[in-house]
C-alpha cells in the first residue's frame, strides 16, 4: 500500500492532471491511502479558502475513495525519532512532514510526494515522486 502526501493534491493541484500522475493512480488503484495528517492539511486549506463549502465537498469526494490511515502510537514513536535524528544532524523538516514521514515509515508504506527534497533525508523512508518536472 502507498500513502499519498498532500503536496501533490493540495499545493499543486494542477499536477494531478498530468498524465504521469493519472497513470500512476490507475496503476496503483486500490493500493493507496491518505494519512489522517494529510486529511487535516486538506481540510485546513479548504476552511481558510475563499469557497470552503465547495473545497470541503471535493475533499469529501476524494477521501471517500481512499482509505484514511489513522495516526497512532507507532507513528508517533517514529515521528519523535525522525525529528530528534534530523535535529541532531542540523537538517530538520517541518513538523507535519515529520508526522507524515513517521506515519509512512511506521506502517512500511511508500510516501508519494513531489517534495522529495524534504523526505529524502529521513532514514528508512520509502519515497516515490510521480511528477517529473
Residues that constitute the known binding site: 97
Could you tell me how many helices (H) and strands (E) the chain has, helices first? Answer: 7, 5
Q: Which residues are annotated as a binding site for Mg(2+)?
A: 97
- Residue 118 exposed, middle or buried by CB count within 10 Å (0-12, 13-18, 19+): buried
Cα–Cα distance between 32 and 80 in angstroms, integer? 25
User: Cα(126)–Cα(108) distance, rounded to whole angstroms?
Assistant: 8
Amino acid at each position: 500500500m502507498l500513502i499519498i502526501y498532500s503536496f501533490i493534491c493540495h499545493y499543486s493541484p494542477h499536477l494531478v492532471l498530468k498524465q504521469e500522475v493519472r497513470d500512476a493512480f490507475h496503476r496503483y488503484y486500490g493500493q493507496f491511502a491518505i494519512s489522517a495528517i494529510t486529511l487535516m492539511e486538506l481540510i485546513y486549506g479548504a476552511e481558510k479558502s475563499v469557497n470552503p463549502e465547495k473545497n470541503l465537498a471535493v475533499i469529501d469526494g476524494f477521501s471517500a475513495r481512499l482509505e484514511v490511515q489513522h495516526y497512532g502510537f507507532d507513528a508517533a514513536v517514529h515521528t519523535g525519532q525522525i525529528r530528534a535524528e534530523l535535529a541532531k544532524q542540523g537538517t530538520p523538516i517541518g513538523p507535519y512532514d515529520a508526522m507524515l514521514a513517521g506515519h509512512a515509515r511506521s506502517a512500511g508504506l511508500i510516501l508519494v510526494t513531489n517534495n522529495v527534497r524534504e523526505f529524502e533525508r529521513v532514514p528508512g523512508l520509502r519515497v516515490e515522486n510521480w511528477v517529473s518536472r
